[in-house]
Amino acid sequence: MSAPPEVPVDTGPDGGPPMAVRAVGLHKTFSSARGEVKAVQGVDLDVAQGEFFGLLGPNGAGKSTTIGMLTTLVVPTAGRAEVCGLDVTKSPVDVKRRIGMVSQNNTLDTDLDAFENLEFRGRFFGMGRKDARRRADELLEMFNLTDRRKGKPMELSGGQAKRLMICRALVHRPEVLFLDEPTAGLDPQTRVNLWEVLRKLQADGQTTVLTTHYMEEAEALCDRVAVIDHGRVLAMDTVEGLKTSAGADTVITVTYDGPAPEGVAALRDREAIGKVEITGSQVRVFARESEGVLGELVAAGAAAGVGVTDAAQLRPSLESAFLTLTGREYRE
């Protein structure tokens, strides 16, 4: 491929860094046997150059569809998206030259070894053989995969395969790296090791857009995050800003050995209580002032003749902000 044309990129708010990614009113509707499915409904996003941006949401929230539109894999039903100043629908080839994409599934070429996967990608993007091989060796060393140079994808562990996929996405030095659930299915140790790799890329100035439903991952890596659910952006801010603006500092969850006591619903009337969710035997309270709430829930159960089988109090965190916005932890 030849080098992409130079395209001016809009500056960010307040004269900040230029925008690497911008979406305005993105919609995507799919047709199915059950009728139309509105996967994304009016998403607005902006990601500055050099920023590590997280797109958070439960399973099925619309994260992957949004990433698909930004990377030209999914055609928007309505709205506009730009990457590096290029319209994703009008200039898809030029957009692809400027981005790297790591999907949830292993898409490595199983007929090629680790080194060949990288060399082939370099040649595909117009690099000479010598430069492609040099870049492949450089990335294998950077990602601690030199000893797996001749290993076929099916011979690699899950963590090694994911690192190789990131290497492949970086071969042509993309301006924006898209990571769709990059640590899904990895064990905790492998996940933390991969975070270290991503932090190094961030320190080197790589613009990265990450989708994840791991709150600790977003807190560890992201400059800013957007929470998406039912295809809409519910909030977009820094991690600390989101904790403050979400409105519930602490989440108290109690599970009883029978139906939740009717009396706990009265907590909704308190000014310091943002929300009370009652689902069968479980009660979840979102409180700005949490002192004494857990004790009251236990006492209410005792008065109603039901015991407490589990209790938790989640202090202010991105997780609590996420729960406040989406109203649920995770979805199947």
**pLDDT band at 9; cut points 50, 70, 90:** very low
**CATH number of 250-315, picked from 3.30.70.100, 3.30.470.20, 3.40.50.970, 3.30.310.160:** 3.30.70.100
Does residue 261 register a pLDDT over 70? Answer: yes
Q: What is the pTM of this model?
A: 0.75
* CA atoms in the 13 A half-sphere facing the CB of 71: 23
Q: What is the pLDDT of residues 152-206, one digit of tens each?
A: 999 999 899 999 999 999 999 999 999 999 888 888 888 888 899 899 999 999 9
Lookup result for tokens 């060393």: 141
Q: If you count them, how many residues does the chain have?
A: 332
Q: Are 249 and 321 in contact (CB under 8 A)?
A: no
Is domain 13-244 annotated with CATH 3.40.50.300?
A: yes
Spell out the domain ranges in the chain. 13-244, 250-315
The DSSP result for 138-164, as a single string, is HHHHHTT-GGGTT--GGGS-HHHHHHH
Q: Is 290:313 a contact under the CB 8 Å cutoff?
A: yes
**Model pLDDT for residues 106-155, shown as the tens digit of each residue:** 999 999 999 999 999 999 999 999 999 999 999 999 999 999 999 999 99
Cβ neighbours around 268 below 10 Å, total: 13
Q: What is the mean pLDDT of the chain?
A: 88
How many C-beta atoms lie closer than 10 Å to residue 170's C-beta? 21
In this prediction, residue 13 has a pLDDT band, given cuts at 50, 70 and 90, of very low
